[in-house]
A and B are shown apart, each in its own frame.
Chain A
Amino acid sequence: MMNNNLQVGPDGKLRHLLSTEGLSAEMIRRILDTADQFVSVSERDVKKVPLLRGRSVFNVFFEGSTRTRTTFEIAAKRLSADVINLNVAVSSTSKGESLLDTVYNLQAMDADMFVVRHSQSGAPHLIARHVKPGVAVINAGDGRHAHPTQGLLDMYTIRHYKKDFRALTVAIVGDVLHSRVARSDIHGLTTLGVPEVRVVGPRTLVPGDLRAMGVRVCHDMAEGMKGADVIIMLRLQNERMSGAMLPSAGEFAKTFGLTPDKLALAKPDAIVMHPGPINRGVEIDSSVADGRASVILPQVTFGIAVRMAVMSIIAGNEA
């Protein structure tokens, strides 16, 4: 269990964002309400506000991810921050510098906020423990542990389309075992009072001990889809899969890939989400990804607003 108390100060204010675990329903609602404001900013002639003027946001990606880094970069720029992108995976660490030495060096360049992605679970926590007071850390994905801004943008998307969390059935389908998105979603959904969260997939990728997180475990796709209001498809993470956890991607697609006939088992107004990038024909059929129920692209747009909300709330609390 990682110490997420680090992210909320003794005054109850958000100092870092490390995980959706440990965030109160009230805090999550505040972030979503603030994101609402920023969605409207993105619709204007001038898509920029001055809240982070004069502050420096360092995107430090120890693990590659063009899309997430780009959305953080756009979010910071729309808040008028100076943004510095560092692809550390191919620079200092390859020369043998330690994680904290890299951070101390960047801190000496007057960073106000670090957006960190790392393949090791807990790396952002370690950094948050060692930065100077007033310097904030936002977790942009660490190992299998958490991807809190993705979790929050999923909450935003669900609230946008479904309004009330307290009557929903949400199915999270696929490679739950390796998914930090799934973990962040589960914490967010249960905190916001979703009565039924299902995790759906083969035994190798959806272990039974997930029940401890307060979810229903389904190894049968039809059971998982039945009556669902929201379906969150996860990417089959080929690059994380060590050994033979699956017979083949084709086998997975046949059983757990979201096709129109499986989607038909969910509620008629169900929405389909995916954190991207999608593997067409593997976890999601093209006709579903491009279909009426799909809100995959709105998720990307909302993601910028949610990241703006997190950054501006944290930056304001450092005042």
Chain B
Amino acid sequence: MPEPLPDPEQLVRSMADAMRGHIGADAGMVGIYTGGAWVAERLHRMLGLSTPLGHLAVTLHRDDFARIGLHRETRRSHIPFTVEDREIVLVDDILHTGRTIRAALNELFDFGRPKAVRLAVMAERGSRELPIAPDYLGAMIEVRPDEDLLLSNENGRLRLAMVTRP
């Protein structure tokens, strides 16, 4: 019997506790669509950041374009504050290979040159392929190669699920 998956809402609360006092008052937070945005909305509220929350869509910087073409994405990146010279907290739900974060960093830098970028992820599943590590991590969750870890948002409540790859 595998261990039950942690409660994402609890993971986000512990991340907020770890970040409190370490994130500057004028830091800007951006969440990566889709799951990262859900996590970022919660962190942003819990930390009471004064700058409005930003969102990133990473489609245009993905490195699998030459293999599988353009992803359909109807949401756009929207950052309602200046990125230039600001501390940025980049938020995603699950860190796997690190390629999404690489694409998000490229997207972010198209808006300006940040003073620093911190990475906050709710769960890390192992098998990174790039030198990218989180500064704030909710939990390490082991995932078998034939499985995927998915975050869903059911009526405003986050839920983690382990699903077998099709």
Contacts and interface: CB of A to CB of B under 8 A. Distances in A.
Given A40-B78, A50-B61, A45 B112 contact: yes
B67 interface: yes
17 contacts: A37-B57, A37-B59, A37-B60, A40-B77, A44-B111, A45-B111, A49-B61, A49-B110, A50-B61, A51-B65, A51-B70, A315-B69, A316-B68, A316-B69, A317-B69, A319-B66, A319-B69
A39 B57 CA distance: 14
Contacts of A33: 72-74
B76 interface: yes
B109 interface: yes
Contact of A316 (B70, B106, B112): B70
Interface in B48-101: 57, 59-61, 65-70, 72-74, 76-78
Given A44-B111, A45-B110, A37 B66 contact: no
Interface residues of B, number: 21
Interface string A34-58: 1011011100111011110000000
Contact of A49 (B60, B67, B72, B76): B60
A46 B106 CA distance: 10
Nearest to B67: A319
Contacts of A67: none
A44 B78 CA distance: 10
A313 B109 contact: no
Nearest to A317: B69
Interface in A87-119: none
A312 interface: yes
A130 B12 CA distance: 57
Contacts of B66: 319
B109 A46 contact: yes
Highest count of chain B CB atoms <10 Å: which of A45, A313, A315: A45
Interface residues of A toward B: which range? 20 to 34
Highest count of chain A CB atoms <10 Å: which of B57, B67, B69, B106: B69
A30 B72 contact: yes
A313 B70 contact: yes
Contacts of B76: 36-37, 39-40
A46 B110 CA distance: 5
Interface string A48-86: 111100000000000000000000000000000000000
A50 B67 CA distance: 14
B60 to A, nearest CB: 4
Given A33-B72, A316-B69, 15 more contacts: A34-B70, A36-B76, A39-B76, A40-B76, A40-B78, A41-B60, A45-B110, A45-B112, A46-B109, A46-B110, A48-B110, A313-B69, A313-B70, A316-B70, A317-B69
A37 B61 CA distance: 12
Given A44-B110, A45-B112, A46-B110, A312 B70 contact: yes
Contacts of A34: 70, 72-73
Given A33-B74, A317-B69, A51 B60 contact: yes
Contacts of B77: 40
A51 B107 CA distance: 12
Interface in A201-257: none
A44 B67 CA distance: 27
A141 B106 CA distance: 35
B59 A316 contact: no
